[in-house]
Amino acid sequence: MESEDHFDDDFLMRVLRDPAELNRSNRQNHVDLCEICRGRLNLYQSIQSFLKSESDFEVPSGWLERMVRLFDAKGLRRDLKEAESYAWLAFDSLLAGAQGIRSTSAQRHLIWESPEFRVDMMVESANRQNVLLIGQLTAKRRTPASESAGAVVEAKVGDSVFSAELNSIGEFVVSVGRLPQNDPIEVLFRLPDRPLLTLLIPF
Amino acid sequence: MSFMSGAKQARLPAEQATDQELVAGCLSGDSMSWELLLRRYERLIYSVPVRYKFDIEERQDIFQTVCCEILKNLHALIDLAKLRTWILTITIRQCNHLVRTKYLQRLQDTVESAHDIKDPNADSFEIYLRSEREQLLREVFAELPERCSRVLRMFFLGSTAPGYQEVGRQLGLSPETIGSLRHRCLKKMGHLLESKGFRKPN
């Protein structure tokens, strides 16, 4: 597609207000074929949707102020050992594939990170009735406290909890039965003398 | 780093402080940093229980619990570049707990018609992606120059397309410059979104 064929901002703004404009102007075909114009239209639609919905997310008066005062309350950060540590999703093969296409592979690769640990996991779903979580928990810094011996991993799927022990190098395999429809799987690592490490597998 | 370390020191606007600076400020006991951090993420936290269609009391419970969890665990967060996704994960987790609790409660309350009760079926993955995308847009709008923010809002909101004449009049600019101003602002917005790893919806 030649650059001079791309939609200008005025046209895209008209489409935002009236999507039927695409058909009226016989340019639907162009959107289907041109990744650049489709990308811009998607972006503009996101911006418009964001701006329109922003007033729905106005935090009610007084809530924030109460939470600001929390800071001065004593005891909230008292005991690290009792705290939970959350791992954040750093990689998901479902999102890293070809743009616009959700992977249909029977294996999904995910990586989480927490301040102390990295979790590398494959969700093996070739057998839909018996999905396996296969992975490894590794410490970012090698310390005596980071030893995984004796650690237990638990996967909460709906109301069921499936667990397994980690081996000496942090590897684990958990069989979790069927995958949930929409709920995420919550995975908890119970490590000796460490805060509970929690992560979510989104679906 | 404290943003209120001296009475004469001007407060650093929220949009100028990085997450790293705000977290460091919180950990050093600066309550202003905590307030700025909450102001940056309050809508992100609140938007999730709204999307889960919780009522106002449930939203308040979630909001309060998430703020407590952030405060309790902030000291353990090392990769500060992930603050946004960390907060989002905590929020979604709390929402899913509530969904599950309500679901089980309803099952218990009406055992005889249990088969008719369905899981609320909230698509947490979609909510996660959408909330993250909108937080990035929120941050970008906060970083854009005021004039850009205004001109984009005028063009993206409103049921009818504003004419260049009208936009120019409201901004005190010549109508001939509005088209190129909008173009520059959109370009700037695109660069900012790209630098933050914005993922367009499919």
Structure-token pair, residue B111: 């055992």
Strand segments (E) across A13-131: 84-86, 88-92, 107-113, 117-124
pLDDT at B9: 37
How many CB pairs lie under 8 A apart between chains A and B?
A: 161
**How does residue B193 score in pLDDT terms, banded at 50, 70 and 90?**
very high
Structure-token pair, residue A70: 């929390």
Rounded-to-integer distance, Cα B132 and Cα B155, Å: 23
Structure-token pair, residue B23: 């977290």
Spell out the CATH class of B144-202. mainly alpha
A80 and B56 in contact by Cβ < 8 A? no
Residue A58 CA to its chain's centroid (Å): 24
- Sheet containing strand A152-157, edge to edge, reads A84-86, A196-201, A185-190, A152-157, A160-165
CB contacts under 8 A, B 66-105 vs A, are 67-69, 71-79, 82, 85-86, 89-90, 92-93, 96, 99-100, 104
- Sheet containing strand A117-124, edge to edge, reads A88-92, A107-113, A117-124, A132-139, A171-175
Structure-token pair, residue A120: 């590398």
Residue B92 neighbours by CB under 8 Å, 6+ apart: A184, A200, B48, B124, B127, B128, B131
ipTM: 0.79
Rounded-to-integer distance, Cα A121 and Cα A200, Å: 12
Q: What is the pTM of this model?
A: 0.64
Residue B177: C-alpha distances to residues A7, A88, A195, B164 (Å): 20, 44, 58, 8
In 3D, which of A108, A87, A113, A52 has the Cα closest to residue A197? A87
Please determine whether the domains at B1-125 and B144-202 fall in the same fold group of CATH: no
A77 and B71 in contact by Cβ < 8 A? yes
Kindly tell me if the per-residue pLDDT of A72 is higher than 80.
Answer: no
Strand segments (E) across B103-161: none
B159 and A17 in contact by Cβ < 8 A? yes
Rounded-to-integer distance, Cα B118 and Cα B170, Å: 51
* A46 vs B64, B160, B200: nearest CB: B200
Kindly tell me if the per-residue pLDDT of A104 is higher than 60.
Answer: no
Where do the structural domains in chain B lie, given as residue ranges?
1-125, 144-202
A44 and B134 in contact by Cβ < 8 A? no
* B86 vs A66, A86, A116: nearest CB: A86
Residue B201 C-alpha, separation from nearest chain A C-alpha, in angstroms: 7
Kindly tell me if the per-residue pLDDT of B80 is higher than 70.
Answer: yes
pLDDT at A198: 85
The percent of residues above 90 in pLDDT, for chain A, comes to 23
Disruptive mutation site among A9, A31, A43 for chain B (greatest number of B CBs within 10 Å): A43
Per CB-CB distance under 8 Å, the chain A contacts of B89 are 86, 88-89, 199-200
What's the helix, strand, coil split of chain A in %, to 5?
A: 30, 30, 40
In 3D, which of B155, B184, B164, B166 has the Cα closest to residue A14? B155
DSSP label at A150? T
End-to-end CA distance of chain B: 40
Is residue A50 less than 8 Å (CB to CB) from chain B? yes
Q: How many CB atoms lie within 10 A of CB A55?
A: 7
Q: Tell me the pLDDT tens digit for each residue of A9-47.
A: 888 988 988 888 888 888 888 888 888 899 889 999 999
Counts for chain B of helices (H) and strands (E), in that order: 8, 0
Residue A188 neighbours by CB under 8 Å, 6+ apart: A153, A154, A156, A196, A197, A198
Residue in chain B closest to A70 (alpha carbons) equals B68
**Domains of chain A from N-terminus onward:** 3-56 (no CATH), 83-201 (2.60.40)
Kindly tell me if the per-residue pLDDT of B41 is higher than 90.
Answer: yes
Question: Would you state the CATH architecture of domain B1-125?
Answer: Orthogonal Bundle (1.10)
